Chain A
Amino acid sequence: MAREQRLAEVFVELADTLVDGFDVVDFLQVLTERCVELVDTDAAGLMLDDQRGNLQVVAYTDESARLLELFELQREEGPCLDCFASGETIANVDLADAAGRWPTFAEAAREVGYTVSHALPMRLRGQVIGALNLFTIAPTPLSDDHLAVVQGLADVATIGLLNERAIRDQVVLSEQLQTALHSRIVIEQAKGILSAQGRTDVAAAFRLMRTHARRSGEPLTAVATAVIDGSLDAERLHRASGSTA
């Protein structure tokens, strides 16, 4: 499929927030997945403002991205936080050269193998509701075109989220985020279950669920719920991912 055609598809996918059973976590998970799919980057993580004075890690494409996002929150240092505070994009950060600005973050990101990072605001007009972080292994900067694509995706997702909230009766961001946080916890619980069943680490357990979600077209939270209720287990997921179908 031509890149432009795929891009158009993804924009439509992210604009569609008025569906039944809309889930913030699944929606933002799709956003992070599509960023990694469409531009030259290896991992993505996303934080949202929970309206209670905290940023929360809501979506990520792999465990290392989650840990780096959490690291930023715990150390109160990093490009995602600066991007959220300023509402400005911080693109093409050379992590080998960022020790002056974010000493502990730059070191942690390099340790897990990333050389370049980017942070883009989730912003609509004056309101910044979160930030998107991208991490790249190869020392290649993102082109202006790719940056524009990511910012476009983030903008569409932000508008979608704010719209989604506006149309519901008496539903506010805090409720959305509380639900989102619990969806996130469901995924963490399922990771633990899978890692114990398959005797793997939680990062591998997450990859297993993510791969299954992608192949089956099911939302990640639905896969996690199935793991918890027992209708999916490590063996079945392994078997499904081992097949070439």
Chain B
Amino acid sequence: MASNRVTEIVAAVEARCPDGRGQPAALVALCAEWLPVTGAGLALMTADGPAGTVAVSDGPAGELEELQFSLGEGPCVDASRTGRPVLQPDVARTAPGRWPAFAGGAHAAGLRAVFAFPLRVGAIRVGVLDLYRDTVGVLSPEELTDALAFADAATLIVLGLPAGDGGEHGPRDPVAVLDDRAEVHQATGVVSVDAGVTLEEALMLLRARAYAEHRPIRDLARDVLRGVVHFRTKDDDR
């Protein structure tokens, strides 16, 4: 999954943000440039629904996010809930039956095709990358594959991983979190129990400590699994 394309996208975003700020905005701008879409939006999602927009490209992307945020329905809400992409190549035809309130507003905003990709790391659901077009039409398999790489890159950026793991001397290994590096995911589970936090918080704890100690997150994960490194709840400090 951590294909060269994901690494390439993350590198391009970082190159546009020399001080490490504004990466989500750079990513949605890059979507519009590199993918055959008109614009893109990046939204955070929780189990309860949309939790806020992180970045939108120029044009009606803001309306796309705002509609779903205020209505609590739409392709990105469904993508987050199901954990699977929601591909709507012809919104005017398919949306009215599925999201009646969203459909009208989307059409009025000029959205003709919407493709929503969940940003997730296993059971951790962080948000959705929405792509839209002002014309109807499907993404080809190659374009869809590329869009999935953008979703992977967006996941890393939303989790703060590209900037976080790349210290001056620290080894950088951000993509390993998404890649099939099982130890990181197993350690996330261990930390969530030991520290009494959610999986998402556990991953953040791991990341923060790896960053603080200037070591790759995979090394730290192995130590957690071996029982050498512990994350404890405050209750255990008695």
A162 interface hit (Cβ, 8 Å): no
A38 interface hit (Cβ, 8 Å): no
B185 touching A175 by the CB < 8 A rule?
A: no
Q: Which of B35-43, B48-56, B65-73, B140-148 contacts A (4 or more CB under 8 A)?
A: B140-148
A130 interface hit (Cβ, 8 Å): no
List the B residue with the shortest CB-CB distance to A178. B148
Q: Mark B183-227, 1 if CB is under 8 A from A, else 0.
A: 001111111111000010000000000000000000000000100
> Which B residues lie within 8 Å of A52 (CB)?
1, 3-5, 145, 149
> Which B residues lie within 8 Å of A202 (CB)?
186, 225
B199 touching A228 by the CB < 8 A rule?
A: yes
Assembly CA distance A147 to B47 (angstroms): 47
Assembly CA distance A228 to B85 (angstroms): 22
B148 touching A188 by the CB < 8 A rule?
A: no
> Which B residues lie within 8 Å of A179 (CB)?
83-84
Given that A175-B84, A191-B189 are known contacts, is A57 also in contact with B180, CB under 8 Å in the complex? yes
B83 touching A192 by the CB < 8 A rule?
A: no
> Which A residues lie within 8 Å of B199 (CB)?
189, 228
The contact of A174 among B2, B148, B189, by CB within 8 Å, is B148
Interface centre among A50, A169, A186 (most CB of B within 10 A): A186
Assembly CA distance A172 to B225 (angstroms): 35
The interface size bin for chain A is 35 or more
B87 interface hit (Cβ, 8 Å): yes
A188 touching B144 by the CB < 8 A rule?
A: no
14 example contacts (A-B, Cβ-Cβ < 8 A) are as follows A52-B1, A56-B1, A70-B182, A175-B85, A178-B1, A188-B182, A188-B185, A189-B199, A191-B186, A192-B189, A195-B186, A195-B225, A201-B225, A202-B186
A188 touching B189 by the CB < 8 A rule?
A: yes
A207 interface hit (Cβ, 8 Å): no
Assembly CA distance A178 to B199 (angstroms): 20
> Which A residues lie within 8 Å of B225 (CB)?
192, 195, 201-202
> Which A residues lie within 8 Å of B89 (CB)?
170
Assembly CA distance A175 to B188 (angstroms): 24
B190 touching A196 by the CB < 8 A rule?
A: yes
A-B contact count (CB 8 A): 114
B45 interface hit (Cβ, 8 Å): no
> Which A residues lie within 8 Å of B188 (CB)?
189, 192
Interface centre among B122, B145, B148, B193 (most CB of A within 10 A): B122
Assembly CA distance A182 to B109 (angstroms): 33
Given that A52-B5, A53-B3, A194-B189 are known contacts, is A189 also in contact with B194, CB under 8 Å in the complex? no
> Which A residues lie within 8 Å of B112 (CB)?
none
B122 touching A185 by the CB < 8 A rule?
A: yes
> Which B residues lie within 8 Å of A143 (CB)?
none
The contact of A186 among B85, B123, B180, by CB within 8 Å, is B123
Assembly CA distance A169 to B86 (angstroms): 11
Q: Mark B63-102, 1 if CB is under 8 A from A, else 0.
A: 0000000000000000000011101010000000000000
Assembly CA distance A202 to B188 (angstroms): 12
A210 interface hit (Cβ, 8 Å): no
| Residues 192-207 (chain A) with a chain B CB within 8 angstroms | 192-197, 201-202
> Which B residues lie within 8 Å of A53 (CB)?
3-4
Assembly CA distance A192 to B225 (angstroms): 8
The 3 closest A-B pairs by CB, nearest first: A192-B189, A185-B122, A188-B185
A225 interface hit (Cβ, 8 Å): yes
B138 interface hit (Cβ, 8 Å): yes
> Which A residues lie within 8 Å of B189 (CB)?
188-196, 228
B139 interface hit (Cβ, 8 Å): yes
B1 touching A181 by the CB < 8 A rule?
A: yes
17 extra interface residue pairs, beta carbon distance < 8 Å, beyond A57-B180, A178-B148, A192-B187 = A169-B87, A174-B141, A174-B144, A179-B83, A179-B84, A183-B122, A188-B122, A189-B124, A189-B199, A190-B189, A192-B191, A192-B192, A192-B193, A193-B192, A196-B194, A197-B193, A228-B199
| Residues 97-138 (chain B) with a chain A CB within 8 angstroms | 120-124, 138
